[in-house]
Amino acid sequence: MGRPDPLTAERPEAQLTLRPATSGDEVLLLGWRNDPEAVRLSVTGREVTPAEHAAWLARRLGDPGTRLWIAEERGTPVGQVRVDLEGGSGTVSIAIGQGRRGHGLGSAALRAMVVEVERDQIASTLRALVHAENPASLRAFERAGFHQRSTRNGEFVVLERAVAANA
């Protein structure tokens, strides 16, 4: 699952790296998942229980079609980015921890993830579903090269990005 070593983002001033998530990140990931703002803007619109999250994380970590990274700034976890692969496409999810938002870390994490996907040649297209009331996330994806393709139920914006075939 991903590279064994951290991957540095393209923006060196961000000092952001990605490392593969482990089961030891369970509490951290649950906190980001159940952050009230993240819940409000999520597809499900609800918190998950610790048991639900533990089962979900175990499935994701064991799934060869999932890449899940922890974004770290100078060694401190600040968020997560995930790609769920199906065919030649990957669906991207991201969460930046409360208090760390608004510092460019989301777009830096997304750019680092794109580099990883290109290096491993695991997808030709990346797709994301972002709540229309989340302009910061929309900007982060746009800064990482994603473009709006459509809307879903008026609430979510579908963004896509092609991935270089031979990076």
Domains in the chain: boundaries: 7-162
Whole-model pTM? 0.85
CA atoms within 13 A on the CB side of 151: 8
What string of pLDDT tens digits covers the 167 residues of the chain?
444 444 444 444 458 999 999 999 999 999 999 999 888 888 888 999 999 999 999 999 999 999 999 999 999 999 999 999 998 899 999 999 888 887 789 999 999 999 999 998 889 999 999 999 899 999 999 999 999 988 776 789 999 999 986 54
Check if the beta carbon of residue 128 is closer than 8 Å to that of residue 113.
Answer: no
Neighbours of 119 (CB within 10 A): 12
Give the burial class of 51: count Cβ atoms within 10 A of its Cβ; 0-12 exposed, 13-18 middle, 19 or more buried. Answer: exposed
Domain range 7-162, CATH architecture: 3-Layer(aba) Sandwich (3.40)
- Look at residue 94 in the predicted model and tell me its pLDDT: 94
- Look at residue 150 in the predicted model and tell me its pLDDT: 83
Provide the token pair at 15. Answer: 């000092």
- Look at residue 14 in the predicted model and tell me its pLDDT: 55
CA distances from 146 to 2, 24, 28, 136, 142 (A): 21, 31, 27, 14, 5
- Look at residue 165 in the predicted model and tell me its pLDDT: 65
